Amino acid sequence: MPEFSHISGDRMLDLINTVEWRLGGPEREEDLTSYPVVLTWCREADLLDAEQQTRLSHLAGRDPRRAAAELQGVIELREHAYAALFDADEAAAASIAAAYREAVAQAHLARSGSGWAWRDTTLTLETPRHRIARGLVELLGRDDLDRLHQCEDALCGWVYLDTSPRRNRRWCVTSDCGDRNRSRAYYARQQARRRSTQATARQD
């Protein structure tokens, strides 16, 4: 059973969604609470295989300070991605570009099927951040970002690519934010109808 949600249509957008109630102020909750948790997300997103996850977990145990710094680096990249996509923040995009340059400097191109793909020269604690940086540049270069949407719940803030035929998807998860907001709207209508009935009765 996955520990993270993968509902956005792009694994780097799933990374942005590793914050609960992004728009909720004091209710906001961080999901990436430790370096091993980052490794778990990377494994679920197919950025690491099981062996790499185990090796990096051992490395983190031997150097917890460096692992903690990498955790913060991943979180910063995630927030830069959100700012670039939703606030058109050029400084955030520049930070992603700088992280990308660092990442490709530690990698080489290798054959992958009929094409080529980046391969890290060595596996280090920086590897998850480097792979995320490369993934974020791929995300920013997608040609369907006109379908990028943010959940219309007032507090949620999760993001996704709206691939519905009519481009009318309003909620990150229909059974979660969708049902909650429909229930809230129904309750508001009932209250309004009750107040209207009471006001009419008083007039009579």
- Domains of the chain, residue spans: 11-166, 173-204
Using one digit for the tens of pLDDT, what is the confidence trace for 80-131? 999 999 999 999 999 999 999 999 999 999 999 999 999 999 999 999 999 9
47-55: long-range contacts, CB 8 A cutoff, minimum separation 24? 47/11, 47/128, 47/131, 47/132, 47/135, 48/127, 48/128, 48/131, 52/123, 52/127, 55/123
Using one digit for the tens of pLDDT, what is the confidence trace for 21-42? 999 999 999 999 999 999 999 9
CATH classification for the domain delimited by 11-166, as one of 1.10.3300.10, 1.10.3720.10, 1.20.1370.10, 3.40.50.12160: 1.10.3300.10
Using one digit for the tens of pLDDT, what is the confidence trace for 130-186? 999 999 999 999 999 999 999 999 999 999 999 999 999 999 998 879 667 664 543
Give dist(CA 59, CA 177) in Å, integer. 39
